Every structure is written in C-alpha cells, then in structure tokens.
C-alpha cells in the first residue's frame, strides 16, 4: 500500500495582509501543514520571491515548488487534492 505524500507548502505573507490570513486559515481548516515566510521581516526572502515569481504582492504559495499567486482557491484545491 502506497503512503500518500504530504505536499510541501510554503506561504509568503506580510503581517497586515488580510488575504494572507484567509489563506492560512484555509490551509489550517484542511489540516495542510505549511511554512510561513513573512517578507516584511525577511528582505532576502522578499527578493527571492520576486526572482522566483516576478510578484511583489502576497500571498504567494509554493506548493511542491509550484507558485500560486493570491488566494486562488481552485488552484490551491487542485494542487493539494482538496475536494
């Protein structure tokens, strides 16, 4: 029997972003573990984010290294297998 792999999820946020809070709550509600990177507190992560995605806005999720810009629920659901 094959064990289902847990997706690797990283979310780039800022402290004042309401969409970031909604995205984190959505992931928690579906019991999806994630690593949060606050780009306000981590300027090098902010530069990496722009380099990876061309985006300066948040939230940006990396789901198994695939970027999702914004709280794009259909894309998040598809990549995480949420029905």
pTM of the complete model: 0.88
Alpha helices in 10-72 (DSSP H): 18-29, 43-53
Q: Residues 24-36: what's their mean pLDDT?
A: 97
Q: Domain boundaries in the chain?
A: 9-80
Residue 1 confidence class, pLDDT cut points 50, 70, 90: very low
In this predicted structure, the answer to whether residue 42 has a pLDDT above a threshold of 80 is yes
Q: Identify the bridge partners of residue 10 per DSSP, sorted by sequence position.
A: 35, 62
What is the reported pLDDT for 7?
77
% the chain with pLDDT above 90: 83
Contact 11, 25 (CB under 8 A): no
Quick one: CATH architecture of 9-80?
Answer: 3-Layer(aba) Sandwich (3.40)
In this predicted structure, the answer to whether residue 26 has a pLDDT above a threshold of 70 is yes
């Amino acid at each position: 029997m094959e064990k289902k792999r847990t997706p690797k999820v990283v979310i780039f946020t800022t402290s004042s972003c309401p969409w970031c809070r909604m995205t984190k709550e959505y992931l928690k509600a579906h019991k999806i573990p994630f690593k949060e990177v606050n780009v306000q507190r981590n300027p090098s992560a902010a530069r990496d984010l722009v380099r990876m995605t061309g985006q300066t806005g948040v939230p940006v999720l990396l789901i198994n290294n695939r970027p999702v810009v914004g709280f794009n629920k259909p894309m998040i659901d598809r990549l995480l297998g949420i029905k």
